Structure 1
C-alpha cells in the first residue's frame, strides 16, 4: 500500500494529529539517510513513481549492490550521491494515521557541523546513530553535545548496522553503556536505545526476529507515541518585529513571526526595550483578520496606541517580559575556519536585531569526548565553548533553556558577512545594568580648551621596520615644541609593562590592541593628543579603536613601506630571525598584515624623509583644526 491508497479516515486523522520534528545525526556513514529512506519505504509512504525512481537511482548511484539504496531518497545533491555522504540538511515531511513528522537528515562529516546545528535548532527529538562496528566516535559525541545545548531532551540512540556484528547483544549493551556514561552530564530527559539495521529494516517499523533479546519499541512505534515536550505556543508571547508597514498615515502595522506564545486581540503587550505599553487592536494573517495567533504563524498586528516600534524591536507579553541587557553569558558553537578571537568585533543577530558584539571572555572550551571544561584563548572550527559577550546596545533576551527564539543568536563576521557561530544564551550578566558612566564636571572639552588643542588619537600602523615609530617621534617633538600636550604609546614600550603577559598569537595581538585602545581613549579624555605606534595588523581591531572615540577624534596613519625595504632596514634583526624560524607569528612572514582600507593619512617612506612626513601630519592636524582650542 502506498500513500495514495490511504482511506479518507486515515488522511483526516493524520491531518488532525500533532507534528513531531526530529533529526537524524551522528558520524559520517553511520546510515542516517538509509534509515530515513527505509522508514518511509517500510511505512508505505512512497508513491509508486518514487519507488521506481529510487530503484533506477540505486542501480546508477547505489552502494547496496542489486538492492535498493534507501539513502538516495534524501541524498538529493549530486555531490552527495557521488561522495556517498550527506552535505546539506534534507527535510522530509511524512505522516502516519497517528502523527505527522518533519525529519531533518543532517550531515555527519565534521566540516558540515554547522548544517547539523541548523537541523537541530527546531527539532523536538534527535535520532543519534552509531555504527555498531565502530562504537562511539568523536563526531557522535560532538553531535550529542550540540543536541543537548540546542535544548533537545528526547534522544533515540539508534545502534545501526547490527547485522555486521551478528546482532550481538553484548555489543549493543556496551555501546549503550558507553553513551549513557558520556551523557550523564548532558540534560537529556530520556535516552531510548534501539538495535537496528537500517539497510535490512530490522526494528525500524517492524520488530526483528534477529533481536529476540530486545524488548523495547521499534523506531516508528516510538516516534508515534513519544510525548512532545512543552510547545512554543505555551511559552510567553514573543514577536520580533521584522517590518513596519505604513502605506499611509492612517495605518501602522507590525509584521513578524510569532516566535513563542499566543496573542489575542485585546491582549496587553510591551515593547521590550523601551517598556512602552499598548494593546493589540487587530491581528491579520495575509488579508484575513483573526482573533488570535500562535507560535509559528507570520502575522501583522496593529496596536491601540501610537507607540514607537521599529524593525528589530520585540513585542512581548506584559506580564512575562524578557531581560534587556548588553552583556550575557552564552554557549557558542564555532563554525568558521578563522578561529574565535576574544576582543574582536563581530555582529550579533538576535531575531530581527543586529548589533555590534564582542566576546569579552572565553570562560572555557568543552572537550567533546570527556565534556571537561578546558581553559582556552580561542575556539577553532567545530569547537564548543562558554563565553561572556558584550553588545554595542541592549537587546531583549531570555535564557535559551526557557525560550529558543529570544535565547538564540548568531555571530557574523563584519567584513565577509559569513555566519561564524551559533549561540545559546545562558544568563544575563547583571553587572551590565549596574555600572554607569560617572558624570564629570571637568570634561574632555574643558581639558582640551585648557591645552589649546582638540583631544586626538594619532594611530600609526605599518609593518615592523616601516618607520612608524620614527615618524611618530618626530611628530611628538614638533608638537611639544609648539607647546601642545602629547603622549606617545609605543608597541615595544607597552609590552614591557601593561602588556608584558601577552605573546604574539592572533588572540594576544587582538587583546594587545584592545588594551592600548582603551588607554588611548582615557588619555584623549584627559585632553591629550595621543600618538599610538603599533603594527596593529588587523583592520577589525583598528576599527574597534576608532569606534571608542567620537567622530574625527581617531586619525589612522598608514606608514606604507614595502616589506623588501623593511627587510633591508631590519633595525632589530627581527626579519632575519623570523626567516630562520626563531620567531613565530611574525607579521608579514607567517602572520598577515591587513593594510588600512581608508586611512586619514597615507605616508610612503620610499618617496619622502621622516622629517617631511612628520610635517605632513602636523599640517593635516592644523587643517582639521585639531591644534586649536575648542
Structure 2
C-alpha cells in the first residue's frame, strides 16, 4: 500500500517534493518515475478538497486509521456520507466553515507516476494562497460546479494559472450527478471556458466531466456518462507529458553554497552546490560565471551518490570547474553565448500579499531572486489589473491585498534574470518587508532592461 506523506505544519513545498522523490513505489521494474505537481483551483464549494480526498481514497493512499478518523468526524457533524474533504481541510476554521483557507500539500503515487497535490482555497480573500500553491505546479485542475457554470472565481483562477505559466490546465466539470449527467450542460460549460481560455495563454487544455463525491470519471470511466469518450482524470494525470515543459536549452545554475572541505587529506576541492534551474550541465562543457564574466569548463558534476554524466532540472548537484574562479552564493553559471539579463531595472507583474500596508511608488523592500538577495525601490506602478475583466487601471496609485499590477523596480545590485515566460525559476522573485521580515509580494519578471 502506498502511504501518504504528511509534512509538518511548517514544511515547505520543496521539502514535500524531496519526500515524494525519495519515497518508494517505483513499480516491479524499480524504474525511476517522474513527479507531477498539480494544484486545484476554482470557486468556493466546487469540490476541490473532496476531489483530492477521492483521489487519495481510490488510489488506496490512506491509512486505515486516517479513514476511520474522517468517518468519525463526518458522523459527528451529521453528514450522511464520508466527507473526504476532511482529509485536506485540517484547520479548525476550515472544518467549521466547510471551506479551504490554507494551502494543503498531499502526496500519493501510482505505478506510473508520483504526485504532489496543492489544495488551494477558492475564496477571493485567499487569492495569495492560491498563487503560492500554483506557482510551482506543472498542471492545474480548475473545478466548476455543473449547476452554476463558470463564475467569477473560475475565470480569476484560470487567469492566474495563465499568468503563472502553468503549462497544463484541466477543467473538471464537477457534480455532474446533480444535473442528471447531462451532456448538454457539460458541453455548454466546456465551450464557454474554451472561449475564455482563448483570450489567455493556455498551451494545453483538457475538459473532464466528474462527480468527486461519487467517484465518477476519477479513477475509472463512468457508466453514468457513456457519451463522454475521453480518459478518466487519473488516466490523464498519469500520462500528461511534462518532460518537454522544462527549459533544457538555457543553462542556469544559481550557486547556493561553495563547498571547501576543511580536511588535511582534501586540500584542493572547490565545489559549487545548487539546484539546476534550466538547461543541461555535463563535464567538459564550457561555461561562464556571472556577474564576473569569467569562463571555464566543467570538471565534474556530482551528487550525494557520486559523479553523474549530466544534470538537468530540478536536480541538486555540486559542480566543479577546471579553473579556480572567485564564485560565491548568488552568482550564476550559464553558457558564454546564452546568458540571462544582468540588470538593476526590472519590469514585473506583482501579486501583493500584505493586508496591512499596500505597495506604493517609492516603497523600499528586500528582494529574494534565486539565490541572490538585494534591496529595491518601487520606481513606478504602470497599472493595476482587473482580474475579472482583464482591464488595466492605469490611474491606480497602489496595490492592495491580492491585487496584481505591473511594477518597475530598481535594485541595489544587478539581478541575473530571464523573462518569467521563458524561465519560471530565474524569472520569479519574492518581495520582503525588511521591518517585519514578512513576504509581502510575489513577482514575475516581464522585462529586465
The interval holding the TM-score normalised by the smaller chain is 0.7 to 0.9
User: How far off is 1:86 after superposition?
Assistant: 2.1
Could you tell me which runs of 5 or more consecutive residues in structure 1 were left unpaired when the two chains were aligned.
430-630
Aligned partners of 1:238, 1:171: CA distance in 2, in Å? 46
Q: Alignment partner for residue 290 of structure 2, among 269, 272, 275?
A: 272
Q: What is the 5 A alignment of 1:407-446?
A: 407-429=427-449
Match of 1:241 in 2: 255
Checking the alignment, whether the CA contact within 8 Å between 2:298 and 2:321 is kept in structure 1 is yes
Aligned partners of 1:298, 1:10: CA distance in 2, in Å? 20
Distance change (3 Å), C-alpha of 1:257 and 1:368 = same
Match of 2:423 in 1: 403
Q: Alignment partner for residue 281 of structure 2, among 260, 263, 266?
A: 263
Distance change (3 Å), C-alpha of 1:9 and 1:253 = closer
Q: Alignment partner for residue 351 of structure 2, among 330, 333, 336?
A: 333
Q: Alignment partner for residue 373 of structure 1, among 361, 370, 392?
A: 392
Aligned partners of 1:344, 1:43: CA distance in 2, in Å? 49
Checking the alignment, whether the CA contact within 8 Å between 1:155 and 1:188 is kept in structure 2 is yes
User: How far off is 1:160 after superposition?
Assistant: 1.3
User: How far off is 1:353 after superposition?
Assistant: 0.9
Aligned partners of 1:10, 1:80: CA distance in 2, in Å? 34
Checking the alignment, whether the CA contact within 8 Å between 2:74 and 2:83 is kept in structure 1 is yes
Q: Alignment partner for residue 365 of structure 2, among 343, 346, 362?
A: 346
User: How far off is 1:350 after superposition?
Assistant: 0.5
Match of 1:96 in 2: 110
Normalization by structure 2: what TM-score?
Answer: 0.87
Aligned partners of 1:145, 1:54: CA distance in 2, in Å? 34
User: How far off is 1:247 after superposition?
Assistant: 4.0
Distance change (3 Å), C-alpha of 1:314 and 1:370 = same
Distance change (3 Å), C-alpha of 1:231 and 1:192 = closer
Checking the alignment, whether the CA contact within 8 Å between 1:260 and 1:294 is kept in structure 2 is yes
Q: What is the 5 A alignment of 1:96-135?
A: 96-135=110-149
Match of 1:87 in 2: 101
Aligned partners of 1:323, 1:180: CA distance in 2, in Å? 35
Distance change (3 Å), C-alpha of 1:358 and 1:177 = farther
Distance change (3 Å), C-alpha of 1:13 and 1:123 = farther
Aligned partners of 1:234, 1:49: CA distance in 2, in Å? 44
Q: Alignment partner for residue 392 of structure 1, among 407, 412, 420?
A: 412
Checking the alignment, whether the CA contact within 8 Å between 1:356 and 1:392 is kept in structure 2 is yes
Match of 1:306 in 2: 324
RMSD (CA atoms): 2.5
Match of 1:476 in 2: none
SS in 2 for 1:349: strand
SS in 2 for 1:406: coil
User: How far off is 1:233 after superposition?
Assistant: 6.2
Match of 1:599 in 2: none
Checking the alignment, whether the CA contact within 8 Å between 2:26 and 2:32 is kept in structure 1 is no
User: How far off is 1:262 after superposition?
Assistant: 2.5
**1 or 2 for the larger relative contact order (CA 8 Å, sep ≥6)?**
2
Match of 1:21 in 2: 37
Q: Alignment partner for residue 143 of structure 1, among 157, 162, 178?
A: 157
The count of aligned residue pairs is 423
SS in 2 for 1:194: strand
Aligned partners of 1:16, 1:32: CA distance in 2, in Å? 29
User: How far off is 1:371 after superposition?
Assistant: 1.2
Bigger fraction of residues in strand: 2
Aligned partners of 1:229, 1:328: CA distance in 2, in Å? 30
User: How far off is 1:13 after superposition?
Assistant: 5.3
Aligned partners of 1:111, 1:9: CA distance in 2, in Å? 38
Checking the alignment, whether the CA contact within 8 Å between 1:129 and 1:158 is kept in structure 2 is yes
Match of 1:434 in 2: none
Aligned partners of 1:410, 1:259: CA distance in 2, in Å? 16
Checking the alignment, whether the CA contact within 8 Å between 2:379 and 2:409 is kept in structure 1 is yes
SS in 1 for 2:131: helix
Checking the alignment, whether the CA contact within 8 Å between 1:182 and 1:370 is kept in structure 2 is no
Distance change (3 Å), C-alpha of 1:209 and 1:289 = closer
Distance change (3 Å), C-alpha of 1:78 and 1:285 = farther
Aligned partners of 1:9, 1:30: CA distance in 2, in Å? 31
Asked whether 1:39 is paired with 2:55, we answer yes
SS in 2 for 1:39: helix
Q: What is the 5 A alignment of 1:460-609?
A: none
Match of 1:175 in 2: 189
Aligned partners of 1:15, 1:117: CA distance in 2, in Å? 33
Asked whether 1:156 is paired with 2:193, we answer no
**Larger Cα-atom Rg:** 1
SS in 1 for 2:281: strand
Match of 1:203 in 2: 217
SS in 1 for 2:56: helix
Aligned partners of 2:194, 2:406: CA distance in 1, in Å? 23
Distance change (3 Å), C-alpha of 1:407 and 1:161 = same
Bigger fraction of residues in helix: 1
Aligned partners of 2:73, 2:246: CA distance in 1, in Å? 40
CA offsets per residue over residues 113-148 of structure 1, 9 Å max, x none? 222222212211110011223332332222111111
Match of 1:355 in 2: 374
SS in 2 for 1:426: strand
Checking the alignment, whether the CA contact within 8 Å between 1:89 and 1:104 is kept in structure 2 is yes
Moved over 6 A (4+): none
Distance change (3 Å), C-alpha of 1:425 and 1:282 = same
Match of 2:46 in 1: 30
User: How far off is 1:15 after superposition?
Assistant: 4.6
Checking the alignment, whether the CA contact within 8 Å between 2:354 and 2:441 is kept in structure 1 is yes
User: How far off is 1:278 after superposition?
Assistant: 1.6
